[in-house]
Amino acid sequence: MNAAIRNAILTIAACAFSISATAQKTPKKPAPAYHYAESAQAMQFADDLAERRGLDREWVRQAIGQARLLPQVPRLVLPPPKGTPKNWTAYRARFVEPIRIRAGVRFWQAHAEALARAEREYGVPAGLIVGIIGVETLYGQQMGSLRVIDSLATLAFDFPAAHPRAAERQAFFARELEQFLTLMDRTGIDPHAPRGSYAGAMGLGQFMPSSWARYAVDFDGDGRIDLWNSPVDAIGSVAHYFVGHGWKTGMPTHYAVAFDTDPARVQLDTLLAPDILPSFSAARMAALGAVLDAEGSQHAGPLALVELQNGAAPPSYVAGTENFYAVTRYNWSSYYALAVIELGRAVAAALPASARTASRESP
């Protein structure tokens, strides 16, 4: 091979290496964001919403049109695959743990007066309110970083068809988007400013827009409702939410339960058939083989046998009252409800005696 050919080959190889190296070093550009101004469905929804609610049409079109599709959100709302084991012990450990308990103590001490007033006015124990705000946002430390309008628009217009209740859930998020824009118009807040969870929940208590509209209260008396920056408003609003969902003052949330020592007398399928809906009297539960503690056996209202799976270990059980069911209306999960209750109790137990100006009663 003569020198000229060899040099030409080396030059070509060097150029190829340079191009390859440049390609490796150049970061891949992210796909351009999809805005809902490009969606005829979204723009028609905007027009219908504006007419239905009496809102400025161009304002609504601009608000929805500037909302962005969040590709990760549809994946996050899908339920776990069938057969995924539940584990109450592991779930509880995520929330009833030292960091959250210490933060709860600080929150309770800082807002003891508001917690006591909420308990007095609404009949909802301070510990339950503290438990909710702790589980939801770690007392305001984790309120979500996504634009609420992006989350709601994504779930209203691009809800995953693989979800077992896709049509029902998509309709729910379309209503929440409508409530959100109505709220933004009424309060004069830029609809692109609020941040929240991937499902569009907002503030210390993670209220969806419809819950904000129905249950949020100006508990600090400053003339406006601010669930992001006013823990006092959040405290009053959580208490008001529970009253709106059937909370009964003074009723326990649950009782300890065991089972008859004779397995033949335990009709577990019958006891579990209503799920967490209170359906049995204490006497009926006993007849079906569920052994309540002394206090539970005297309970006058309906009860539910609540099963909490523990992976490969035996399940845990409690007898839930109507107040336990009320806690599940915040998040439709018995695991969530019991974690909230037990976090509230753990925080109350960790309070210095001198700081217990709110109720000593646990939920």
Active-site pick, 38, 97, 136, 168: 136
SS3 of residue 314 by DSSP: strand
In single-letter form, the type of residue at position 140 comes to G
171 contacts 144 by C-beta, under 8 angstroms: no
d(CA 293, CA 23): 70
d(CA 307, CA 320): 10
Nearest to 132 by CA among 203, 198, 214: 203
How many Cβ atoms sit within 10 Å of the Cβ of residue 143?
20
173 contacts 73 by C-beta, under 8 angstroms: no
Q: Is 176 a catalytic residue?
A: no
Structure tokens belonging to residue 227: 């669930």
- For 240-267, give one letter per residue: b (16+ CB within 10 A) or e: bbbbebebeeebbbbbebebeeeeeebe
How far, in Å, are 11, 12, 20, 28, 81 from residue 17 at the CA level?
A: 10, 9, 5, 19, 46
SS3 of residue 86 by DSSP: coil
d(CA 285, CA 267): 9
Structure tokens belonging to residue 25: 């070093």
d(CA 339, CA 93): 9
Structure tokens belonging to residue 232: 């006092």
How does DSSP classify residue 27?
P
Active site positions, annotated: 136
